[in-house]
Amino acid sequence: MRAVGAPPRLGAHLRAVHDVAVEILDRLGDDVGVDREAVLFGAATHDIGKARFPEELPGAGTEHETAGEALLRSLGVEDRLARFAAVHGRWDRADATVEELLVTLADKVWKGRGEAGLEQKVAEVVAAATGEPVWAAFMRLDDELTRIADCADDRLAFQARFSL
């Protein structure tokens, strides 16, 4: 983060999303067949392009997405990992991987925000991997996301302690 001139608040945000991704992955377990390391890397770097577009840190914007992918590639990061920066905001693509969906999910729920379509899509992928009914996978996921969302104020307060 220092090498790319990221503001401290961006580092705090990326840490919060990474920590939420850990919680989600722990709850899903190993039977889902997810590349855990890729998800954790994606969660920890998905918004790195905001170092180039800091005005998007407190507000909306998408310029950081392609900038982040390019930045990661310039640092020698593999394309499959750098891609998280570019696609984390577009979960509804037909070619979205489960890893990309999980990074996007962590990026939503860390602040208590839900996205019903995203949660349904993740539940479908989990059900297909585990053989459980979609409704059961959804309930398991929903219980964890509710628990995580209940702590959103603490994560938001943590992030707010850092300067833009």
pLDDT digits (tens, 9 = 90+) for 17-29: 999 999 999 998 8
pLDDT of residue 41: 98
pLDDT digits (tens, 9 = 90+) for 84-134: 999 998 888 888 899 999 999 999 999 999 899 999 999 999 999 889 999
Domain boundaries, the chain: 8-160
pTM of the model: 0.94
pLDDT of residue 3: 87
For the structural domain made of 8-160, what CATH number should be given? 1.10.3210
pLDDT over 90 (residue 31)? no
Nearest to 57 by CA among 148, 161, 159: 159
What is the rounded distance in angstroms from the CA atom of residue 36 to the CA atom of residue 105? Answer: 14
Nearest to 82 by CA among 92, 68, 96: 68
